[in-house]
Amino acid sequence: MQDSRNIKTTLDELLSKNDRVFIVPHNRPDMDALGAAIGMSLICKKNKKRSFIVIDDNIEKLESATRKVIEEIESEFDIIKASDIPNFITDKSLMVCVDVNKDYLISTKKYLSDFSDIFVIDHHKTDEHTIKTPYLFVDEKLSSACEEVSRLLFSYGVKINKDHANYLLAGIILDTNKLSKNVSTETFSVATKLTSKGADATIANNMFLEDFEHDRAIQRLVDNTTFPNFVFAIASDKEDSGKIYDVEDIAKASDYLLKYQVNATFAMGYIDEETVSISARSKGIIDVSKIMRLFGGGGNEHSAAARVKGMSIDNIKKFLNDVLIPAGYLEYADINALREEEGMTLNLTK
């Protein structure tokens, strides 16, 4: 893993030896991933390199903020599907992954071997699924990918308009829960500089205004919340509701619960008939990524998630309660024994 202080030097070298850049956010990009992708594309333009932002998802099914921004930028930036890569790739092409470091979370996994150079900027924990590259810049203490990309934009002297600045600020606001978690003096410094470039905190926050349907989905989860010994909050849908949720709504329910006097929050709901998505958030005392790894997921200490196939919500809640409740803190070492004792087997999907 590379030292983040060398990030610009390394990027300079990679841009100088490549003529095309394929910028890849994680699947179902949120505003941090999309804002970082836009910022990287602006850096490529500054360096006179043609760039492509790779988004494989059905745009119409993305959350409203992301969908609206993509519609706003599609005439300014080249947005392609992963399947389009063979039509544009050259022997001097660079892949840049933003806000992601796991190969199973990107649409371009099958094309990784086609790139000699892969550059990664992220703030989530690494594991055995992390993309294999010598150009790996992952800082778990970083608030967001947009924070790091913003610093790069400033160091390159890239001229950004107020819309670009708002997209980047929105990414920071999203991943810090409105600048309330995992922030540093550098985070506020970047936010201030973006404001000086025309970003407006009100506009950035308004990108996340909920429509009625999504707000009701979030509140349905929040209304069915339990507080094991008042250290954790666990929100979920009722097992027999038949409701299918958007992943983003589950994540927002977990964010919402941080307003209460708890150390960590969990929200879960079905995202298809067989798969439960779990979103976890922490105020920093508890590393929720360790808990999500028990379910085959990951993330960082403040924000993590997992998808579980073939296990009911009730059993997932029981599993969480058995791990979390006993002493009000986590005992990871005995988790395998706990699984055997409870007779639980997890059929996990990424």
pLDDT tens digits, 196-224? 999 999 999 888 776 677 888 899 999 99
pLDDT at res. 310: 87
Weakest mean pLDDT among 3-7, 28-32, 181-185, 243-247: 3-7
CA distance linking residue 199 with residue 201, whole number of Å: 6
Tokens in use for 210?
A: 């909920």
Q: Is the pLDDT of residue 155 over 90?
A: yes
User: Which among 85, 178, 238, 265 is positioned nearest to 187, based on CA atoms?
Assistant: 178
CA distance linking residue 97 with residue 53, whole number of Å: 10
pLDDT at res. 284: 83
Query: Where do the domains of the chain lie, and which CATH numbers do they carry?
Result: 4-206 (3.90.1640.10), 212-342 (3.10.310.30)
The chain-wide mean pLDDT, for the chain, equals 88
Strands 275-282 and 264-270, by their bridges, are antiparallel
With a pLDDT cut of 70, the percent of the chain lying above it is 90
Q: Is the pLDDT of residue 65 over 70?
A: yes
Mean pLDDT in residue range 56-78: 91
Amino acid letter for position 345: T
Half-sphere exposure of 103 (CA within 13 A, CB side): 13
Return phi, psi of residue 226, to 5°: -115, 155
Q: Is the pLDDT of residue 156 over 70?
A: yes
Amino acid letter for position 221: L
pTM listed for this prediction? 0.72
Q: Is the pLDDT of residue 3 over 70?
A: no
Each residue of 269-307: pLDDT tens digit?
A: 999 989 999 999 998 888 898 889 889 898 888 899 999
3-state percent helix, strand, coil for the chain, nearest multiple of 5: 45, 20, 35
Strands 225-226 and 20-25, by their bridges, are unpaired
Each residue of 312-348: pLDDT tens digit?
A: 999 999 888 887 765 444 443 344 443 444 333 333 2
- Judged by DSSP in three states, 136 sits in strand
Q: How confident is the model at residue 83 (pLDDT cuts 50, 70, 90)?
A: very high
Tokens in use for 260?
A: 């209460």
87 CB-near residues (< 8 Å, 6+ apart): none
Give Rg (Cα) of the chain.
20
pLDDT at res. 231: 84
Amino acid letter for position 231: V
Q: Is the pLDDT of residue 1 over 80?
A: no
E strand map for the chain: 20-25, 50-54, 79-80, 93-98, 117-122, 135-138, 225-226, 232-236, 264-270, 275-282, 298-299, 303-309
Weakest mean pLDDT among 69-83, 234-248, 268-282: 234-248
CA distance linking residue 195 with residue 175, whole number of Å: 18
Q: Is the pLDDT of residue 258 over 60?
A: yes
